Amino acid sequence: MGKYILRRVLSLIPVLLGISLLVFLFLQLIPGDPAVVLLGERATPEQIAAVREQLGLNRPLPLQYLSFLQNLLQLNLGTSIISGIPISAELRARYPATIELAIAAMVLALLMGIPAGILAATQKNRWFDNLVTTGALLGVSLPVYWLGLILIYGFAVNLQWLPAGGRSSDVALIQPITGLYLLDSLLRFNLSAFWDGLSHLVLPALTLSTIPLAIVARMTRSAMLESLTQDYIRTARAKGVSEIWVVCQHAFKNALLPIVTISGLQFGTLLGGAILTETIFAWPGIGSWIYEGILARDYPVVQGGIIFVAIAFVLINLLVDLSYALLDPRVQYR
């Protein structure tokens, strides 16, 4: 087990190096000059040259990349060119919002997707199965920005049941402990702040959960259909075991591995920040922050943000791999 974890961790090093190189090169292809963005279009060539020298942008690309890697090894993600705030401070301030939104969206996806997939598999080719497969197709196909705007128009503008955006009506209501508003409000025994944060979370979480919900439902249905055709299922039914026990205990338990795999991948994707959802709902997460950095040509923000997201994604994948042995005793690590 220990050797397997060590091999997996070591195998992540070239992956992260490749990601850092691709991000660095892609940023160089974006039109515009960070020095011009920082100084404005009326800046003189001398001023632009001075800022480029200060930021190290006048050095050859290999030297810029090596400098970036050196800072990364020292856990120094740099400072934002535009705001002057350290990247690590921005991550501490913004990533809890993305984590909270990702957890809420994934919980909704699992609570609705897994039961829908199980019922669809047990009623293959019937009306409910057709309903689930059609709904899953729509969930993957609907544009997130369109669905978000429809939900805002329906529930925030017309019905006025929920707020249209933001994370809280009054940030001062919640004194941060972990950065997760709902958890902090419960730890502070502040129910008004809890309901306020929950009301702001509903619409973006619903919008963000549509794609993982559809994927989880389809994967659950597929895994359950395969599991229900196995010999041990026929044996259990022949022994007179109730159908509910056969489905939930025998079939679902043996269909968990692909469900856990796809759920982990989807959760890792959500932790990367949902740019469209966070932008539409003015959610102060890491996705909208990286998007703003791209528009402003803020190299340290984009590089540091994407590297941090990549590390979070590969760690989620590692945890998913390690969970296989707990879910299925037949899995052995070598």
Q: Is pLDDT at 198 greater than 70 in this prediction?
A: yes
Every domain of the chain and the residues it spans: 2-73, 91-327
> What is the pLDDT at residue 51?
73
- Identify which of 212, 210, 180, 179 has the alpha carbon closest to the alpha carbon of residue 198: 180
Q: Is pLDDT at 232 greater than 90 in this prediction?
A: no
Q: Is pLDDT at 150 greater than 70 in this prediction?
A: yes
Dihedral, CA atoms, 62, 68, 73, 79, nearest 10 degrees? 170
> What is the pLDDT at residue 215?
92
Q: Is pLDDT at 172 greater than 60 in this prediction?
A: no
pLDDT above 90 coverage of the chain, percent: 11
CB 104, CB 197: distance < 8 Å: no
> What is the pLDDT at residue 110?
93
CB 31, CB 310: distance < 8 Å: no
CA distance 313 to 174: 29
Confidence of residue 290 (pLDDT cuts 50, 70, 90): confident
Q: Average pLDDT over the chain, rounded to whole?
A: 82
- Per DSSP, 40 falls in state -
Query: H helices of 30-74, where?
Result: 34-39, 45-55, 61-73
More confident residue, 114 or 13: 114
Distances (CA, A) of 327 to 59, 110, 223, 238, 254: 52, 17, 15, 26, 9
More confident residue, 9 or 116: 116
Return the top range by mean pLDDT from 215-229, 238-252, 265-279. Answer: 215-229
Confidence of residue 234 (pLDDT cuts 50, 70, 90): confident
CATH for 91-327 (1.10.8.50, 2.60.120.10, 1.20.1260.10, 1.10.3720.10): 1.10.3720.10
CA distance 274 to 98: 8
Q: pLDDT (tens digit, 9 = 90+) per residue, 60-82?
A: 778 878 887 887 777 777 788 77
Amino acid at 234: R
Q: Is pLDDT at 171 greater than 80 in this prediction?
A: no
Q: What is the pTM assigned to this prediction? A: 0.84
Average pLDDT of 187-205? 87
> What is the pLDDT at residue 103?
92
